[in-house]
Amino acid sequence: MTKTITPPTLSNSSLPAERAQSSVQGLRVLHVIDRLSMGGTQNLLMRSIGELDRRGVESHVCVLSSSDSTSDSYGSQVQSDYLDFTGEYRNPIALYRCERRLRDVVANIQPDVIHSYLWVSDFLSARVAAKTSTRHISHIVDRRPWQESD
């Protein structure tokens, strides 16, 4: 049985906190990230999960790399599925195997939304989302100095 959840819209930002919270409560989100080593994007992921948890969103984490690359400070905060991807994104066989593992995780968790961080996760998540009709949000973090606003 599939549960239909209405996603929040931009207009929810003007709603009272209780009403905005109820629109995402029960939502199941799969966060996909290349690795959980110490870094800014990983910190963003952890802060997002904390806030989503507070609002009643069920978050799951899938890490493309192995648990060996996970920072101790992150590993103790979340339970993650590790796909043991070596990072060889130019190797089509390795990439396909990782995509297949991610598809298995999506089939098991059945998220309403896949939220990906970092390039390889964005690419693989988009491919899996397209094949499973799951909504996908790609979180792009770009800190190149020549693209900063004044």
Q: Of 80, 98, 78, whose CA–CA distance to 88 is shortest?
A: 98
The per-residue pLDDT for 120 is 94
pTM over 0.85: no
Residues 25-78: tens digit of each pLDDT: 889 999 999 988 777 788 888 889 999 999 999 999 999 998 777 666 655 567
Nearest to 90 by CA among 120, 121, 67: 120
Can you tell me the distance from the alpha carbon of 7 to that of 40, in angstroms, rounded to the nearest whole number? 27
**Confidence at residue 68, expressed as pLDDT on a 0 to 100 scale:** 77
Report the Cα 35 to chain-centroid distance in Å: 11
pLDDT in tens, 93-130: 999 999 999 999 999 999 999 999 989 999 999 999 99
- Out of 8-12, 36-40, 85-89, 111-115, the most confident range is 111-115
Helix, strand or coil, per DSSP, at residue 19: helix
Q: What token pair was written down for 72?
A: 């101790």
Is the pLDDT at 5 greater than 50, yes or no? Answer: no
